Structure 1
Amino acid sequence: MSDARATSFGAAADHYEAARPDYPFEAVAWMLEKPPHGSRRIADVGAGTGKLTRVLAAAPEAEIVAVDPDPSMLAKLRESVPGVPTFTGTAERLPLPDSGLDAVVLGQAWHWVDPVAASAEIGRVVRSGGALGLIWNIRDEGEEWVRRLTEIMHSSPAENMVNGPGSQGPRVSDPFGEVEISRWEWKRQINRMQLHQMALSRSYLITAPAEERADIARAMDGLFDELGLDDLEATIDLPYVTVAYRAVRA
């Protein structure tokens, strides 16, 4: 993990679970369809509260384990996706045996890892011909109000890696081969409270001083007033782009 922001999420596990979106099933299926013999034994690394884990666990005959460095996030995952074995660890240091998996996937997490060390370690636990899948849900800033929201909350390392100016996307190293990419556009109905929870689940706000968090909340409220989100029942369509990458182990 790269800095204190990378390991800050446990302090906001409830907000993360309540306000972060799940991943489209078709995007997750695409990440895992490349290995010629399928992907049954899968590790969700940087699993957090289980946003990606629950999609994986819905696949028939899937055997899933979840790995995260934060015990608070894993505790929330066990509530959200009961029955999935959980382990404390990172992409650079996995508590898993050699060549025991068909695939390793990371949701909203690769931007926090050392890509060379993580590629090598994941290559250790994935069989030859197995897959590495990386996926992010990124707000679609094609709409002005979404751009303004990001300006208020500040951009994240994920957004800068996947969708930032001049971004080359995630770096994946040996023993994995060429990285393929695919995208899905979709919208999610969200209310004012969930938007605030989403902001509070971001590493920038988790680690910011209380005064700055209050200033950001006030600016968000001003934007939401303009948008007509003036009661608990009002919702707005928040556009997303899900960006997924996959690579096969040599």
Structure 2
Amino acid sequence: MDQNERLLHASSFGAAAVEYAEHRPDYAQAAVRWALEPAPGLRVLDLGAGTGKLTATLVASGAEVIAVEPDPAMLAELRRSLPAVRALSGSAEAIPLPDASVDAVVAGNAMHWFDMAVAGPEIARVLAPGGVLAGLWNVLDDQVDWVAGLARISGTAAIGPRDTPASWRAETADMHLPKTDAPARFGSPEQATFPHGQRRTADSLVATLATRAGMIVMPDQQREASLGRIRDFLTGNPDTAEGEFTLPMLTSVLRVHRL
């Protein structure tokens, strides 16, 4: 994906903010606990917070959370659903917080959109000594046969890089702060995965996949054809054809510590 295409995809979510808030999954609580260990305190920045899917799990963990999100429509949904959370307009490349003001910076399905050459020093700036940077991604458990089948027929616009465990590990292996001339240094990255799941129907899973960036930016006719193929697969598969089912997922975490 070239730079222009990456920017197009990264800025697309506001067009589906309401659907994103309704259909995207939350994050496994065990994954959030591991992501924050061993942060020196409970001041947490949710960076690229979207509509607040990860923010809500962080709040439930007892953390003092600040959410930062660049897209006005996504930020509006976050403020609507979590009015008690301090939610600011900003980006990973321009964080509207003072130096050393948080103990952890986390990002839910967002870090791959950051320009880490710029965001790295910014994150280092706002992190307190000993702080933690963690990216969390919900990925599909393609060890389950029907999920592997879904991944095969969906296409990369709906289920792409980082969306299954093996591809996630490969895509994020080097996704950590560059060791440049920034005053703060970071240790070696760690990866871990945690079981998760989401109750879905065929229609709601189609709606979930429609909130992927590759689907949002797709021409209408092509998008409807792609979603139609996914719906046909789900309604023709005995595990997903009738009523609710659990979509098997993992919450995968990439963690690095500020030295």
Do Structure 1 and Structure 2 share a fold, with TM-score over 0.5?
yes
Partner residue of 1:150? 151
- Please point out which of 28, 53, 56 is paired with 1:54: 56
Tell me: CA distance 1:65–1:16, structure 2 relative to 1, closer, same or farther (3 Å).
Answer: same
Tell me: CA distance 1:118–1:162, structure 2 relative to 1, closer, same or farther (3 Å).
Answer: farther
Q: Does 1:45 align with 2:47?
A: yes
Q: Is this contact kept in 1: 2:43–2:102, CA < 8 A? A: yes
Secondary structure of the corresponding residue to residue 159 of structure 1? coil
- Partner amino acid, structure 1, of 2:33: A
- Please point out which of 201, 205, 217 is paired with 1:191: 201
Partner residue of 2:249? 240
Secondary structure of the corresponding residue to residue 53 of structure 2? coil
Q: Is this contact kept in 2: 1:116–1:172, CA < 8 A? A: no
Tell me: CA distance 1:33–1:81, structure 2 relative to 1, closer, same or farther (3 Å).
Answer: same
Scaled by the length of structure 2, the TM-score of the pair is 0.87
Q: Measure, in 2, the Cα distance between the counterparts of 1:44 and 1:170.
A: 21
Q: Does 1:216 align with 2:193?
A: no
Secondary structure of the corresponding residue to residue 122 of structure 2? helix
Q: Measure, in 1, the Cα distance between the counterparts of 2:98 and 2:83.
A: 23
TM-superposition CA deviations, 1:66-124 (whole Å, max 9, x none): 11110100111112212111112111211111111111100101111122322211000
The structural deviation recorded for 1:145 is 2.3
> Within 5 A, what are the aligned runs for 1:1-250?
2-35=6-39, 37=40, 39-60=41-62, 62-151=63-152, 152-154=154-156, 155-159=159-163, 163=167, 166-167=170-171, 169-173=173-177, 174=179, 175-228=185-238, 229-230=240-241, 234-250=243-259
Q: Is this contact kept in 2: 1:111–1:161, CA < 8 A? A: no
Q: Is this contact kept in 2: 1:162–1:169, CA < 8 A? A: no
User: Structure 1 vs Structure 2: percent identity of aligned residues?
Assistant: 36
Partner residue of 2:182? none
Q: Is this contact kept in 2: 1:139–1:146, CA < 8 A? A: yes
Q: Measure, in 2, the Cα distance between the counterparts of 1:55 and 1:165.
A: 23
Q: Measure, in 1, the Cα distance between the counterparts of 2:245 and 2:53.
A: 22
Q: Measure, in 2, the Cα distance between the counterparts of 1:204 and 1:89.
A: 23
Q: Is this contact kept in 2: 1:181–1:243, CA < 8 A? A: yes
For this pair of structures, how many residues does the alignment match? 245
- Partner amino acid, structure 2, of 1:140: D
Scaled by the length of structure 1, the TM-score of the pair is 0.90
Tell me: CA distance 1:235–1:153, structure 2 relative to 1, closer, same or farther (3 Å).
Answer: farther
Q: Measure, in 2, the Cα distance between the counterparts of 1:161 and 1:116.
A: 26
